[in-house]
Amino acid sequence: MEKYPSLRTIAGIYRIIGWFIGIFTFAAIIIGFVDVIVNQTFFGGGFWSFLGAVLGTVLGSILVLFFYAAAGMLLAMLPVAVAEGIEVILDIEENTR
């Protein structure tokens, strides 16, 4: 019988959440990129609006999308790292028996 099944379940849930965030980020970046190319409008606003004025609509938007992609992938890695940490602890427990 497997010990600590709830921790393995929690690790699996964290892994699924991380993959979901990663896939959602990838899809949102692709949609944003297509929107910028098709509509030729600036993607982003507020703090990022200076990039549209300085670099131009398309280049500024692509740079904003790059920052969003980097932030999204970092956020996707966090739950996966938590899942890996839980699995490492469980492996250590199993190997010290």
- Quote the pTM value: 0.77
- How far apart CA 41 and CA 9 sit, in angstroms, is 44
Asked if the structure places residue 94 within a domain, the reply is no
- Residue range 6-20, pLDDT digits in tens: 999 999 999 999 999
Total domains present in the chain? 1
91 domain-assigned: no
- Per the document, the length of the chain is 97
Domain membership of residue 95 (yes or no) is no
Instruction: Report yes or no on 93 lying in a domain.
Output: no
Give residue 65's pLDDT.
82
Q: Which residues of the chain have pLDDT under 50?
A: none
- Provide the residue range defining the domain that includes 28: 5-86
Which residue type, as a one-letter code, is found at position 15? R
Q: Are 17 and 79 in contact (CB under 8 A)?
A: yes
Q: Which two tokens stand for residue 86?
A: 């839980």
